[in-house]
Amino acid sequence: MPEQTDKKVTNLNHIILWFLNFDHSPEEITEKLGLLPTRTAVKGQERLNSGSTNRKLHQFSFWEYEWKIESNDFVGGLADKFIDEIIKPRIREIKMIADTMDAEFKIVQYYYSGYNPGYHFSVDKMKILSEANLEIDIDTYCLTEE
């Protein structure tokens, strides 16, 4: 009989458009982009720490739109799709927002299966991110046991 394990075999990928450090309502960003955010917070707003009853205050305001995808597909392909479908059609609006606050294109990957996670951005994709005035932040957590 095969051994039963809880080993995760599918990677978890987060592709995110993130704005932070602003003094107005997050709803203004929502209206300008025509995107419903995944999460928002206002500086000074109370929040619960995950897994705790301790309350803390948000240290800064933020607005976040996220794709959370469980897949072993190449994360670069997922990022390219996000750039094409979310960022490129809103490049002017994103730039106007990013000119007044911190703005990032983020990739966070929890890597459970496969070898050598990697990222490749074509010149075209880099140009879009640059024109939108977005910084790039990539976090990879290699959790494979292989």
Q: Residue 31 belongs to what H/E stretch?
A: helix 26-33
Residue 3's pLDDT is what?
47
Q: What is the pTM of this model?
A: 0.85
What CA–CA distances, in Å, run from 139 to 11, 61, 111, 144? Answer: 13, 21, 10, 15
Per-position DSSP letters for 61-120, written without gaps between them: -EEEEEEEEE--S-HHHHHHHHIIIIIGGGHHHHHHHHTTSEEEEEEEEEE-SSS-----
Domain boundaries, given as residue ranges, for the chain: 18-142
pLDDT at 52: 59
Q: Give the mean pLDDT per block of 10 residues along the chain (146 residues).
A: 60 95 93 96 73 71 95 89 98 97 95 76 95 95 73
